[in-house]
Structure 1
C-alpha cells in the first residue's frame, strides 16, 4: 500500500509544475518535458487518486494534465485538442471511439474459469475514453510544441540530461537491489523475483519494473548517439564519453531485450543514411504491427525464438517460452471477439494468464477496431516523418529526423514483448509528428508561392 508521502507527491506535483513553468529562461518545450517525463521518473507507481466520474489521477495523468494547463494558462501556448488534419486526425478519433464500441459489444458479464467479470456500462466507456485521452496527451503536447528538427534536437538533449540525472539512482539500485520505491513510497510495485538477473539486480527506481528502466536507458543512449553523430555538444565532456557511460549502464540493467534493441538502433543511427534509416524504420514497424495477426495465424516461429533465447541462459529460454505460452492463449481468447475486443476490467485475460505485450493487450481489449486505430496512428506518424526527410535541405536536419525514426523503431519493437508505452514515448512521437507537419506546411507554402509566381 502506498504511504502518505506517495499521495502527497501526487497532490503537490501540479504546484511544482507551476513553479517550473514560471522559470523564465526555461523554454516551454523544456518545461513540458521536465513536468511530464520528470513526473514519470519520480512519482510513485500504482498510487492513484480516484475521484467520481474521472479517470485515475496517477504518475501518468497528473503530469500530463499539469503540463497542458500550464502551457495554456501560464505560457499562453495553445495546445491542440486533437491532431488537426489528415489521416492522423481520423485515426486518433477512432482511438477515442474504441472504448465506446468495446463497451457496446460487451454488456454481459463473463466467467474466466475462476471468477465472474462484470459486463460493461456507458460509465466504463466514458471513464476509459477519458483515460485514453489523458494517456495520449503527451502526444498532443509534442505535436503542439515541436516545430522543427532543432526542436527534436532539444528533445533528444533533454532525454540525455534526464538519464544522466537519473543514473546515480540506477547505479545505486544495481549495487544494493531495488529498494528506493519501498523506502520512499512504502511498497514495491512489482514482483521482486523478476528483478534478479545474472547473479545481480535490475534497477527499478520509480518506474515499476527493471525492463522499463532498461528501455529508458536504451532510448537515451540512442539519443546521445544521434547528437554525437551530428556534432552537437552537451557540456565540456565529449558526447563519446556519455555514450560509453550509458552503454555501461544499459549492460548493468541486465535486460537482454533492451541490449538487442539498443544495439540494433545504434547500428542504424551510426552507419545508415537518414533515408535508409527511415525505410528500415517503416519496414520494421510494419512487421511489428503485423505481429499479433501473424501469431494468430501460426506464422511466428516460437520454437526457433525460444532456442535463440537459450544463448543467454536457460532461464532466458524458459522466460521466453513462458511468454509465448501465455501469448498464444491470449491471442486465441482475443480471436473470439476480434471486432471490438473484450473490454476493460481484465476481461481480455484468462484465469492465471500473463499479458506483457502492448499490441496483444490492445487487440484483446479493443479488438481490430482499437488495434487498427492504435497501430495505424503510430504507423501514420512514422510514414509522415519518413516522407518529410526528402524535403529537408540541411543534412543535419535530415540526420536528426532519421535518428529520431530509429528511436521510434526501437520503442515500437519493444511493444511486442513488453508494455512500455510511456509519457516520453508519446512525447517523442508527438514531437516527430509536429516537426514533420511543419515541413509539410513549409513545402505546401513553397509550392503555393511557385504557382503564384
Structure 2
C-alpha cells in the first residue's frame, strides 16, 4: 500500500465538497458515488467508534457534510413512507440479533451503524436527491458512461492480467489472485474487489445503453452515436468472462422487449414471484438443488454444474443452521457457520440471501429483499410496463429492472453495490413524491401514453 491510498481515500471528502461547490447537487451526488466505486482503492481502515472507513463510507460522509454546508434545506424535504420501512428494519436488525444472542448492546449498536453506512445512507441519499424521472435518467446515463470508461481498462487487464490496482495503489484488491483466471485467460478486476463486480457493472451499463438506444432516450455520447458505443460495450461484456452477468443481461433484455411489446407486466411479476419462491424454499429447506444442478450440467458444462452443486450443498447446511435461530439469526462473529471440532470452518457463504438469513434471521432476509423489490413493484403501479419504452420513463425503467436483476444475483453472490442501493432510494423517492402530488401525476401519465401512441 503506497501513500497515494491515504491521499485519495482521506482526500475524498474534500473532493466531494468541491463537486458540490462546482456543479448541481444532484449531479455531484451521482458522480461522487460512481467515481468512488469505479476508481477509489479497495481498502478498509479501522477507526474508533465508527464502521470501517471505505470508499463508500467516505462518499456518504462527504455528501452528508456537503449537504449540511451547501444544501441544508434538502434534509427537510424527506418524508418517511411505508416504502422506507424495509430499509429501516434492515438497518436496525443487528440490534435484536445481538441482544437475542447475548452479544451485548455495544455489538448490536455497532452492527446497526455498519448497516446504516453500507445500506441506509446510499438509500437515504437516493431518496433525497434522485426522486424524479430526471434524477434517475441522470443516474442511468452516468452508469452507461461509466461502463464505457471501463472498457479500455478491462482490455488492458485482459492482456496484462489484473494489475491496475497494484500499479496505482501498491497492492492487489483481492489476495486470492487465482480467482482472476478464467477460461484460460484473465478476468479483469480493475479497481473493484472481484471480477464478478466488474462483470455486473458492465452488464448494467450494457442493459441501460441498449434500452436508451432502443427508446431514443439518448442518441449520442461524446458526439458518437449511441449505437456504436452499445456494440462495443456488448463485446466488452463478453470479454470480461462473467457468465452470470451475461445471462442476467439476456434475461433483462428479454423481459424489457417482451413486456413492452405485449404491454403486460406478467413476466416481471413472474420473475419477482420466482425470487420469492426461491427464498421460501431455501428458508424452509425444500430447495430443489439436485434438479437445478442436472439442468446446469446439461445446458452449460460439468465445471459449472460442480460449482453450483457446491454452492447448494453449502446453502442447505447453512439454512439448517439458520433455522435454529430463525427470527433474528445468529448475529455476527461467524456464529451462523459450521465448524469442525478444531475450529476449522467447513462452510462458505457465497450468496447475500443466506448471509442475511443466517446472521439476521428471516426478519432481516425479508427486510433486505423487500428493500430492493418493493420500489420496483410500486414503480410498475405508477408507470405501467406499457409506457416503459417512452423516452422520459425508459431510463428509470431500466434501473428498476436492474434492481430486480440485482436481487436475482443476490441469490447467488454477495456483491454489495452501492449504486443499486442509491437507485433503490431514488425509485422509492420518485414513487413517494408522486404519491404526495397524486393529482399532478395523472395528467403526466396521460400525456406520456398519448405521446407513445402517436410515436408508435
Alignment match, 1:198: 183
2:425 to 430, 434, 437: 430
Query: Larger deviation: 338-347 or 304-313?
Result: 304-313
* DSSP 3-state at the match of 1:285: helix
Contact 1:97 1:129 in 2 (8 A): yes
TM value normalised by structure 1? 0.88
The CA deviation at 1:270 is: 3.3
Structure 1 residues 155-164 or 4-13, which shifts more? 4-13
What is aligned with 1:114? none
**Conservation of the 8 A alpha-carbon contact between 1:102 and 1:342:** yes
Distance in 1 between the 2:183 and 2:333 partners?
35
Following TM superposition, by how much is the alpha carbon of 1:380 offset from its aligned partner in structure 2, in angstroms? 2.0
Aligned match of 1:222: 207
> What's the secondary structure of 1:50's corresponding residue?
strand
Asked if residue 234 in structure 1 is aligned to residue 228 in structure 2, the reply is no
1:195-251 deviations in Å (ceiling 9; x for gaps):
211111111111111101000110111111221122122333222212211111111
Kindly indicate whether the alpha-carbon contact (under 8 Å) linking 2:352 and 2:413 is maintained by their aligned counterparts in 1. Answer: yes
| Structure 1 residue aligned with 2:347 | 353
Pairs within 5 Å for 1:3-152: 3-23=2-22, 26-45=23-42, 47-76=43-72, 78-79=74-75, 84-107=79-102, 120-136=103-119, 137-152=121-136
Deviations, residues 301-360 of structure 1 (Å, cap 9, x unaligned): 322322333343332222212211211111111111111101112222221321111111
Unaligned runs of 5+ in 2: 339-344, 443-456
**In the aligned structure 2, how far is the partner of 1:27 from the partner of 1:99?**
36
1:424-452 CA deviation, whole Å, 9 max, x = no partner?
011111121222223223324579xxxxx
Counterparts of 1:177-326 in structure 2 under 5 Å? 177-188=161-172, 189-231=174-216, 232-235=218-221, 236-273=223-260, 278-310=265-297, 311-326=299-314
Pick closer, same or farther for the CA change 1:77–1:339 going to 2, 3 Å.
same
In structure 1, how many angstroms separate the alpha carbons of the residues matched to 2:441 and 2:136? 23
Q: Provide the rounded CA distance (Å) in 2 between the counterparts of 1:155 and 1:10.
A: 23
Of 366, 377, 393, the residue aligned with 1:372 is 366
May I ask how many residue pairs the two structures share in their alignment? 430
Q: Secondary structure at the match of 1:208?
A: coil
Q: Is the 8 A contact 2:95 2:105 kept in 1?
A: yes
Q: TM-score, normalised by structure 2?
A: 0.88
Structure 1: state its 5+ residue gaps: 108-119, 448-453
Deviation at 1:52, TM superposition (A): 1.7
**Cα RMSD after superposing both structures:** 2.4
